[in-house]
């Protein structure tokens, strides 16, 4: 007994298109043969889930599968083919395309026998070649045209390349292709290269290449949406007296002013210095961190003792 396609992907029959696509990508990455070279069953599992997604990932095919019009292999169910150009279809069909009562001595002499009353007209529409998988000059049982399987790959990129956008060369299936990394790409994001997957079957289009991105961490930058975030250590002197300091951004260094009497945790916003996309541009958020001096200073200690005590805590 063929295994239910929903069970193969591990989803419910009420799953949305987005949920089906997400689950397929998850399983494709898990069982891709290139990532499981020591697991002989991975390739078969990958083939199984790709075949399931080929049907459930297509709205029209999924509806036919749910209606039991096609099976787990995408083949028509029931009486899906005719009996040939000169077979029963022509015998039962009248000149106007409808089905007449077929009269012979074998079926009650001259009284006639109405097959449509027994089986209904749908069954004859299939015999005539108008149903799914009918002859109409084609050989029944010939392989159906099918899209090739998608191919899954992984690509690690530097933080700045992911933030600003870049073009990388990747060897896929013996072919070297240029992969465009859009600005703002994040870890776990999947890029799709149309037609760069496995070859189609019986004239079907090629599958796609699905490239899962991993972004390398940066020494001091991180991304929050389209904003770039970094911590900026400042000295006690800079925190009290203020001053200008040089700050790195993903597009180069800039000078910023530290306001006098700044505290750790305060933020400076550098407008337009974040991730730039066609729709908008983020900012760079600079978190100030006041650092105490590492060398003892008697003068500093004396000056601090002379300062009035201030209650900073409210708990």
List phi, psi (to 5°) of 7.
-70, -35
Paired sense of beta strands 227-235 and 284-291, if any = parallel
CATH (one of 2.60.40.10, 1.10.3720.10, 3.40.50.2300, 2.60.260.20) for 151-215: 2.60.260.20
Which residue's entry shows tokens 């189609």?
A: 200
Q: How far apart are CA 312 and CA 265, in angstroms?
A: 14
5-66 sits in which CATH class?
A: mainly alpha
Instruction: Write the CB contacts of 289 (distance below 8 Å, at least 6 apart in sequence).
Output: 231, 232, 233, 234, 264, 265
CA proximity to 30, closest of 195, 215, 217, 210? 210
The alpha helices in 225-310, defined as continuous H runs, are 236-241, 298-306
Q: What is the pLDDT of residue 143?
A: 66
Instruction: Write the CB contacts of 150 (distance below 8 Å, at least 6 apart in sequence).
Output: 28, 50, 197, 198, 207, 208, 209, 210
Q: How far apart are CA 209 and CA 152, in angstroms?
A: 6
SS3 assignment, position 108 = coil
CA dihedral over 251, 254, 260, 264, signed as positive or negative: positive
CA proximity to 266, closest of 232, 222, 223, 228? 232
Q: What percent of the chain has pLDDT over 90?
A: 42
Domain coordinates in residue numbering, the chain: 5-66, 151-215, 222-294
Can 5-66 and 222-294 be said to share one CATH topology?
no
Q: What is the pLDDT of residue 122?
A: 39
Instruction: Write the CB contacts of 253 (distance below 8 Å, at least 6 apart in sequence).
Output: 246, 247
C-beta of residue 259 within 8 angstroms of C-beta of residue 269: no
Longest dimension (CA), the chain: 126
Q: What is the pLDDT of residue 133?
A: 39
Taking 3-state DSSP, the helix, strand and coil percentages for the chain, each rounded to the nearest 5, stand at 30, 25, 45
List phi, psi (to 5°) of 48.
-65, -45
| Segment 41-57, tens digit of pLDDT | 888 888 888 888 989 98
CA proximity to 176, closest of 153, 149, 150, 147? 153
Which tokens is 133 given? 């998988």
Q: What is the pLDDT of residue 105?
A: 38
Q: What is the pLDDT of residue 121?
A: 38
Q: What is the mean pLDDT of each run of 10 residues along the chain (315 residues)?
A: 83 91 88 78 86 89 88 73 39 40 37 37 37 37 77 92 93 84 94 90 90 94 96 94 95 96 96 95 97 90 85 73
222-294 sits in which CATH class?
A: mainly beta
């Amino acid at each position: 007994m063929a295994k239910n396609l929903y069970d193969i992907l591990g989803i419910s029959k009420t799953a949305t298109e987005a949920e089906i696509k997400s689950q397929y990508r998850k399983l494709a990455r898990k069982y891709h043969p290139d990532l499981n070279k020591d697991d002989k069953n991975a390739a078969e599992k990958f083939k199984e889930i790709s075949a399931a997604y080929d049907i459930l990932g297509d709205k029209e095919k999924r509806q036919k599968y749910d209606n039991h019009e096609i099976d787990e292999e995408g083949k028509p169910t029931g009486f899906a083919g005719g009996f040939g150009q000169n077979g029963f279809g022509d015998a039962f069909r009248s000149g106007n395309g409808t089905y007449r009562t077929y009269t012979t001595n074998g079926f009650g002499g001259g009284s006639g026998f109405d097959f449509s009353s027994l089986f209904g007209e749908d069954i004859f529409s299939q015999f005539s070649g108008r149903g799914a998988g009918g002859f109409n000059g084609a050989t029944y049982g010939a392989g159906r045209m099918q899209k090739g399987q998608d191919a899954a790959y992984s690509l690690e990129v530097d933080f700045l390349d992911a933030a600003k956008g870049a073009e990388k060369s990747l060897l896929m299936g013996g072919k070297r292709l240029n992969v465009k990394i859009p600005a703002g790409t994040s870890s776990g994001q999947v890029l799709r290269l149309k037609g760069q997957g496995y070859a189609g079957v019986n004239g079907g289009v090629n599958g796609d290449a699905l490239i899962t991105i991993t972004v390398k961490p940066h020494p001091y930058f991180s991304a929050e949406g389209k904003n770039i975030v970094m911590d900026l250590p400042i000295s006690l002197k800079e925190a009290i007296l203020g001053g200008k300091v040089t700050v790195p951004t993903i597009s180069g260094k800039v000078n910023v002013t530290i306001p006098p009497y700044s505290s750790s945790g305060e933020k400076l916003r550098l407008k337009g210095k974040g991730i730039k996309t066609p729709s908008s541009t983020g900012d760079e958020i600079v978190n100030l961190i006041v650092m105490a001096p590492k060398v003892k200073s008697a003068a500093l200690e004396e000056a601090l003792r002379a300062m009035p005590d201030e209650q900073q805590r409210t708990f």
